[in-house]
Structure 1
């Protein structure tokens, strides 16, 4: 099978300053392909536009963002020259849910930058970087509705109580400070992720050996979830929420390379509370740091800073991780980096159907529904008379009891569980679901 963007995975390397491209088998097993692609100095973070055709990384060593085009086969090509963020030491990067703005947390200058993404994909600064008002900003998470940006701060060796700061998003993508309270994230706030429903945000507290959990209010303010913080393996750095919002995984580089059980799993409760997945922490590699779920949520990928490799897991129903055979495998570069494992977003399906009416019996045909990067896996029908047929296949037949005009609706889901809803967890989309996955048609029966 030829490589495709749908099956691609990327790993960034901090010290060899490059990106390895992998292709993923249906089993989740990654295989490296092609030559490594150069980045700027000390890259961290890798985010995609919603259509998956462009990607960006923040280069902490030279204060720039590198842009790439992503081919149909998943291959990367440089897009223009690296763009200056106008801040020093960009550490974390996020792209807005609509793909029109990039944000970087600039560790050395204590600022946050916003850059617009034009039709040509080239980033352009939006004004000057803004001071965050707290020491050492690290990670950026944007809300799925695009209204707020959350920035974690800190250095784990100081022992101080570090903060998360909230910015509001202006029309056009620029940022403005808010008066919302700054919440404590323990010592050394680091990687953060938001649940797909936008209700909770989780932050790794590196110096506290814990993850902090907060509820997100409509006005963007944060309040601590009951029981927070929750204990992790030693020295946690990054977090990842699964696409279904049911589990959270945390990577911990630890202080001792001999310790290789460095991935802690949690089940996420309806109230945002966390319950440790049995078997945590799971075996991974030396100094686990980067982490991402697959687009369908069936697999988890973890990069290891000191052993220079990539671990792959099956995610069980209870969130238990089972490392696949041949895992981990070398990434080919030196020192996989923070927020440096990424997959392109799943492109949402499009619903379409026809009807054939005979008296009060209607034959529906949804075969024209399509998914540009996969297949339709589920057809959910409502017939407009109070009758539904969940997972009813592409060709159901329905008989109406009374004559009249009815509005029938078809909602489709693809083979990676993408449907009408955007799945975005703070840095880059996993599924660009849209209203196109649902369509209606008026039907008159006599």
Structure 2
């Protein structure tokens, strides 16, 4: 069974008692993450959150924009019992977690400083032990995989941020549904299943998303994921999904067809460190990282790193697996993909890494960092999505010379870092700054286009890898104007 999620009906109370005794034998941690940053003011843009399974709360950190170093801010915020997963609406203003101990979802308002405020009472999911949670790319629907009841729940989010069940939970047709991943186009939901016991043949099941956000099993057959299918993540282009197989010590890779059906990528499955549990694809889609809590807490090389090929095949990054700490579980890249953050279950802390160009990990100075709570949880490290930029420009025509001014472009949570221009006459200027000048060779009517990218790499494309948005890029990052040259 997973190190932080061994909850089965009839054993839940005994399990909590047993693990509480284990936790009490570990070094004591502070009950509050309260601290003040020395430089950067807390903000939603620079926030990072860590869920704790057995203190039932959330720690908030501010990430230094230059170094990536996390600094705890504020007090721990209460969740329901045994929380897992922390997902955001696309605007980053609301967040949700699944509470496996009381079968609910907790919702939060997220203010401009990144502070969390509960959205009233938790909402029941009508299923037992919601283990995994995902939000639809459009932010209108939540999905939970309910471990003990063998179902997946769909909940619509109303205008006030409260979730409401869409019909009854849908049986998945396989035992122990564990992790739920939504496709970036919003058409499909993929659910991994199983327990990490030797000899099991667990599966991933595909659901089609209905017009109201509800789910229906597709005709695509379930695909095998070894023993204990667990954390899963999807490449930003929507072509591939990867699933950690906890009892098989591998990660499976699948190509996603247009109808949602899955077929193995070349070479799948791929070996990982012992007991892989969670997975994260970087926002650029180049690398996959897999955490392993491991059975042996003295083993600290618990983050397996892969490069992702064009065909979806995985190639180990040199030096992998990388050092983290005790029982690595939750994992997320930073919004710009330059860093990786890993929650360590046994040591109650957060490891932070720089990601090299080849995917090599290097721990930040001072890592790991105490989280202030007990036992960072599965899918319990998360950052709010980067808000996409908006392009706008003006022109001034003088004969055949046109001066362009894109300084009216804006990014709601950062700055514009790149301006790419096409002038409609076959000429283009890549990364040409906000105020280029272009001379047209002949009179005519031209369509000039500006495409902008912000300082965290967000542009025209939504970046969504299965559970929560990384970047809410959209066509608004591109603007076109008609130019008439006399």
TM range (shorter): over 0.9
Paired with 1:225 and 1:178, the residues of 2 have a C-alpha distance of 21
Query: Could you say which residue in structure 1 is the equivalent of 2:295?
Result: 255
Name the SS of the counterpart of 1:250 in structure 2.
strand
Name the SS of the counterpart of 1:180 in structure 2.
coil
Match for residue 243 of structure 2 among 194, 198, 203: 203
Name the SS of the counterpart of 1:207 in structure 2.
coil
Match for residue 20 of structure 1 among 56, 59, 69: 59
Match for residue 136 of structure 1 among 159, 166, 176: 176
Paired with 1:269 and 1:128, the residues of 2 have a C-alpha distance of 40
Match for residue 76 of structure 2 among 22, 28, 36: 36
Paired with 2:199 and 2:451, the residues of 1 have a C-alpha distance of 51
Which is worse superposed, 293-302 or 177-186?
177-186
User: 1:16-415 alignment to 2 at 5 Å?
Assistant: 16-26=55-65, 27-415=67-455
1:123 positional shift: 0.2
Name the SS of the counterpart of 1:198 in structure 2.
coil
Name the SS of the counterpart of 1:347 in structure 2.
coil
Q: Establish whether residue 10 from structure 1 lines up as the match of residue 10 from structure 2.
A: no
- Indicate the RMSD between aligned Cα atoms, in angstroms: 0.5
Name the SS of the counterpart of 2:149 in structure 1.
coil
Paired with 1:2 and 1:203, the residues of 2 have a C-alpha distance of 37
- Kept in 1: contact 2:198–2:248 (CA 8 A): no
Name the SS of the counterpart of 1:35 in structure 2.
strand
Paired with 1:426 and 1:40, the residues of 2 have a C-alpha distance of 23
Paired with 2:122 and 2:217, the residues of 1 have a C-alpha distance of 27
Name the SS of the counterpart of 2:114 in structure 1.
coil
1:158 positional shift: 4.7
| 1:238-264 CA-partner distances (Å, limit 9, x unpaired) | 000000000000000000000011000
Q: Which runs of 4+ in 1 moved over 2 A?
A: none
| 1:8-66 CA-partner distances (Å, limit 9, x unpaired) | 00000000000000000021100000000000000000000000000000000000000
Paired with 1:163 and 1:423, the residues of 2 have a C-alpha distance of 26
Paired with 2:313 and 2:216, the residues of 1 have a C-alpha distance of 30
Paired with 2:312 and 2:266, the residues of 1 have a C-alpha distance of 8
Query: Could you say which residue in structure 2 is the equivalent of 1:430?
Result: 470
Which is worse superposed, 174-183 or 343-352?
174-183
| 1:119-162 CA-partner distances (Å, limit 9, x unpaired) | 11000000000110000000000000000000000000252110
1:177 positional shift: 1.2
What number of residue pairs does the alignment pair up?
446
Paired with 1:53 and 1:321, the residues of 2 have a C-alpha distance of 31
| 1:183-206 CA-partner distances (Å, limit 9, x unpaired) | 000000000000000000000000
Paired with 2:75 and 2:119, the residues of 1 have a C-alpha distance of 17
Name the SS of the counterpart of 2:259 in structure 1.
coil
- Kept in 1: contact 2:402–2:439 (CA 8 A): yes
Paired with 2:259 and 2:267, the residues of 1 have a C-alpha distance of 23
| 1:318-363 CA-partner distances (Å, limit 9, x unpaired) | 0000001000011110000000000000000000000010000000
| 1:71-94 CA-partner distances (Å, limit 9, x unpaired) | 100000001110000001000000
Paired with 2:311 and 2:392, the residues of 1 have a C-alpha distance of 37
1:172 positional shift: 1.3
Paired with 2:409 and 2:219, the residues of 1 have a C-alpha distance of 47
TM-score, normalised on structure 2?
0.91
| 1:287-323 CA-partner distances (Å, limit 9, x unpaired) | 0000000000000000100011000000000000000
Name the SS of the counterpart of 2:45 in structure 1.
helix
| 1:210-263 CA-partner distances (Å, limit 9, x unpaired) | 000000000100000110000000000000000000000000000000001100
Stretches of structure 2 lacking an aligned partner (at least 5 in a row): 1-39
Paired with 2:429 and 2:148, the residues of 1 have a C-alpha distance of 56
Name the SS of the counterpart of 1:208 in structure 2.
coil
